[in-house]
Amino acid sequence: MNQHRNKATTNFKKARTHLDTIIKMIEKGEYCVDIMQQNLAVIGLLKSAHQLLMEGHLNTCFKNAMTSNQPDRHQKMIQEILQVTKLLNK
């Protein structure tokens, strides 16, 4: 999962840099479409980071839970994935 977390962290750092740029652009009164393009770049980075974290989770924590002999743990993991997916789709 470290590989996925490292890539996700990189995306979060890039998004933070873009957000700082957006704030400066707004404060300077720059062109709205330019600001929106930067905003879309941030959204893309955040979605990518989310996907990387989800992939890492499914390949480690989720897989380990599903191979255990603990039905309660299975159900808890399924509910967590459903909750995160529901939030993503809002």
pLDDT per residue of the chain (90 residues) written in tens, 0 to 9: 588 899 999 999 999 999 999 999 999 999 999 999 999 999 999 999 999 999 999 999 999 999 999 999 999 999 999 999 999 888
Whole-prediction pTM: 0.85
Enumerate residues 6+ apart whose C-beta is below 8 A from 41: 18
User: How many domains are there within the chain?
Assistant: 1
Find the domain containing 83 and state its range.
Answer: 2-88
* CATH number of the domain residue 82 falls in: 1.20.58.1000
